[in-house]
Amino acid sequence: MKIYIITEIGINHNGDIDIAKNLINVAKDAGCDAVKFQKRTVELIYSKELLDSPRESPWGTTQRQQKLGLEFNIDQYKEIDRYCKEIGIEWFASAWDIESKRFLRQFNLKYNKIASAMIVDIAFLKEVASEGKHTFISTGMSNIVDIDIAVDIFKKANCPFELMHCVSTYPMEDEDANLNCIITLRDRYKCNIGYSGHETGLAVSYAAAALGITSLERHITLDRSMYGSDQPASVEPMGLRQLVGAIRKIEKAMGDGKIGIIEKEIPIAKKLRAHIKIEANE
């Protein structure tokens, strides 16, 4: 099965539609299947106390100014929708509240995404599942009970889904990846399992691909030194091209697991075994 590769633009566009388009181009050129954004209703998901607190950023000196500066408006999302259709790549977004989820419905997107932070919000999960769209569910910061509840909600709604093993540290240390959770999740839930990575480098993602994931999500950036908390855990353009190319090679290399002599080996076997008297099997 071909791994569905999702490039998480998230908030790495820094509120700039031109940066967003450049990142979409990077994903398309690398051969990715989709780009993903994040949508928040800032006044709903953050307290007034936090929003009023100080924070230096390119948009001002408060948390409110910083968080509003990272949010695209309706016209910008319409441009993202138009541009992705123009160049031929899917896009979708992880909503962080029900109002944002309803906002995204106007674009009739093919997929939904449950961010790790949202997997414990029962009302939100039911709202997303009610749409019946294939949903990627990240499992960062979750225990088995949390995942059990989410899976049960989607199954009861008859909504297609796949889980994505995830560790929610930014960047994630390699020793925390615990990739064998991919096998644990597959065995427990009998569903497709993906991987959403926040590590630096590409090796962990390669290993996840070799474990039979069905989807892979990595944050992308034009430059890891740009402003933003997600930038250090993101892949730059050259790295993304390398990642996609290697993943496609890994898919081919995994094969079907059947043991036997392949046709290309036959002439080699005849040459290298010419000195051996081969006895017929009884």
pLDDT tens-digit readout, 39-62: 999 999 999 999 999 999 999 999
State the average pLDDT for the chain: 97
Give the C-alpha separation, 214 to 226, whole Å.
31
Q: How confident is the model at residue 279 (pLDDT cuts 50, 70, 90)?
A: confident
pTM exceeds 0.85, yes or no = yes
Beta bridge partners of 181: none
Amino acid at 181: C
* 243 CB neighbour count, 10 Å cutoff: 25
Average pLDDT over residues 230-256: 97
CA angle, residues 175, 179, 181, in degrees to nearest 5: 120
Beta bridge partners of 218: 7, 197
The confidence score (pLDDT) of residue 282 equals: 53
Give the C-alpha separation, 236 to 225, whole Å.
10
- Looking at domain 4-272, its CATH architecture is Alpha-Beta Barrel (3.20)
Which residues have a Cβ under 8 Å from the Cβ of 64 and sit 6 or more positions away?
42, 46, 51, 52
List pLDDT tens digits, range 149-186.
999 999 999 999 999 999 999 999 999 999 999 999 99
In the chain, where are the structural domains located? 4-272
Give the C-alpha separation, 9 to 38, whole Å.
8
The number of angstroms, rounded, from the C-alpha of 194 to the middle of its chain's C-alpha atoms is 8
**Which two structure tokens, joined as six digits, stand for 111?**
């997929």
The confidence score (pLDDT) of residue 1 equals: 80
Give the C-alpha separation, 133 to 147, whole Å.
19
Dump the DSSP string for the chain: ---EEEEEEETTTTT-HHHHHHHHHHHHHHT-SEEEEEE--HHHHS-HHHHHSEEEETTEEEHHHHHHHT---HHHHHHHHHHHHHHT-EEEEEESSHHHHHHHGGG--SEEEE-GGGTT-HHHHHHHHTT--EEEEE-TT--HHHHHHHHHHHHHTT--EEEEEE---SSBPGGG--TTHHHHHHHHH-S-EEEEE-BSSSHHHHHHHHTT-SEEEEEB-S-TTSSSTTGGGSB-HHHHHHHHHHHHHHHHHH-----S--GGGHHHHHHHTTTS-PPPP-
Q: How confident is the model at residue 277 (pLDDT cuts 50, 70, 90)?
A: confident
List pLDDT tens digits, range 121-152.
999 999 999 999 999 999 999 999 999 999 99
Bridge-based pairing state of the strands 60-62 and 54-57: antiparallel
Contact 125, 154 (CB under 8 A): yes
